[in-house]
Amino acid sequence: MTDSTAPITQDVMTIPRKLPEGPTNLVGLTRDKLREVLIAHGTPEKQARMRVNQIWQWVYQWGVRDFADMTNLSKAYRAELAENFVIEIPEMVSKQVSADGTRKYLVRIAGGHEVEVVYIPETDRGTLCISSQVGCTLTCSFCHTGTQKLVRNLTAGEIVGQVMMARDDLGEWPEPGQGTGENGPRLLSNIVLMGMGEPLYNFDNVRDAMKIAMDGEGISLSRRRITLSTSGVVPEIAKTAEEIGCMLAVSFHATTDEVRDKLVPINRKWNIATLLEALRDYPKASNSERITFEYVMLKDVNDSDEDARRLVQLIKGIPAKINLIPFNEWPGAPHQRSDWDRIEKFADIVYKAGYASPIRTPRGEDIMAACGQLKSATERARKSRRQIEAEAGMG
């Protein structure tokens, strides 16, 4: 069970892990860093910029993983690259496809850790929900990931690597020389940082990965097609506007500090008033139109008409849309989903106050891919072993 009184700490997992000596992985390096490592391995400084552009395009625009295929580089240079570097992305361990077409991938990263990635096809878009941490330091009461301790932050390569892996699986890399999207709408057109973890507690890596996703010579997604969801790490919000500039979603979920303290414990550090203050500046600072307020509908906890009215009062003046999320169940969850007519009534009040209030249709529920249901399979397995032991009187 989640201990909602546990202190909020940001685990210091950013200390670089000692990696075994070996070739450097180029995936996830910023353009500057890539330039640096190329020069360090003998690329003449004068050529470095051009080489960065060439390699960058092969890797991020055309999905090439083998230096030998980079045909605009000399054979000798390709051989040199292959000696010193690798192009590696996380390994897909399994894939489940839901009856509604949602795909859930289990992905293994260095150290044998696992994260989940979800692809949600819709008529006009395809959204990839990616993870930024293994587990989470926070313990939101309704969230399955929150029951798993933070294991570590993902590297920038592991974050952008999830996008590359999904494009592999969707078969969506353009032919060399072509741009993405030339043959109709993209299958993977949007990214949401709404998988496992709190992206703003892994800021630098998330920023570097999203810069690659937004780069016109990289994965080339518009910053308006990338949405970062935070539980409310206030000091990082202005930085997100400045350094990433993507769309922002905030896990709001309650209209009084008393209730939000329980549901989203980070509220005890940065309360509703402080959070709203930081959000007021975001759309202007990031040049994005509006903020998405996520609101999980929990029966008899946060779903009254009064809550709906308080919500619209609170966000007055902030360009916003309110995304109502019917609570998704997971084993042992301490909440229930609000009744459907309650959700509609709530949505109606918000809508009449002038805000879009879409109700998020749960996707991929049959494969536990819906919001808040993600958790590493390894962790699940461990837990069930513990349960088995307990049941057998061994625990």
Catalytic residue list contains 116: yes
In this structure, are residues 293 and 323 in contact, taking their beta carbons and an 8 Å threshold? yes
Q: What is the pairing mode between strands 24-25 and 85-86?
A: parallel
Q: Which is nearer to ligand SAH, 26 or 198 (CB)?
A: 198
Is 327 annotated to bind ligand? Answer: no
Q: Please, what is the minimum distance in Å from the beta carbon of residue 298 to ligand SAH?
A: 9
Q: How far is CA 305 from the centre of its chain?
A: 31
Distances (CA, A) of 188 to 192, 196, 214, 292: 11, 19, 13, 21
Residue 102 or 231: the one with the smaller Cβ distance to ligand SF4 is 231
Catalytic choice (114, 116, 236, 379): 116
User: Given the complex with ligand SAH, which of 59 and 368 has the nearer CB atom?
Assistant: 368
User: For ligand SAH, which residue of 114, 116, 158, 198 counts as binding (CB under 6 A)?
Assistant: 198
What is each CA distance from 254 to 5, 237, 297, 307, 346, in whole angstroms?
18, 19, 10, 8, 13
Contact flags string 234-273 toward ligand SF4, x per CB under 6 A: -----------------x----------------------
Instruction: Give me the least distance between CB of 296 and ligand SAH, in Å please.
Output: 4
Q: Which two tokens stand for residue 294?
A: 């996520």
Report which of 240, 228, 165, 167 is spatially closest to residue 198, judged by C-alpha positions: 228
Catalytic pick from 236, 329, 371, 379? 371
Residue 252, marked binder: yes
Closest by CA to 282, choosing from 218, 323, 239, is 239
Phi, psi (rounded to 5 degrees) for 145:
-60, -35
Q: Choose the one of ligand SF4, ligand SAH, none that binds residue 328, judging by a C-beta under 5 to 8 angstroms depending on kind.
A: ligand SAH
Helices (H) and strands (E) in the chain, counts: 11, 13
CA distances for 293 relative to 101, 181, 318, 350, angstroms:
26, 30, 10, 12
Assess 136 for contact with ligand SF4 (CB under 6 A): yes
- Are 357 and 347 contacting, i.e. CB atoms less than 8 angstroms apart? yes
Q: Which positions from 263 to 282 touch ligand SAH by CB under 6 A, shown as an x/- string?
A: --------------------
Nearer to ligand SAH, 6 or 68 (CB): 6
Q: Which residues contact ligand SAH by CB under 6 A?
A: 142-143, 194, 197-198, 229-231, 251, 294, 296, 325, 327-328, 371-372
Q: Which residues are catalytic?
A: 116, 371
Q: Which residues bind ligand SF4 (CB under 6 A)?
A: 136, 138-140, 143, 145-146, 197-198, 231, 251
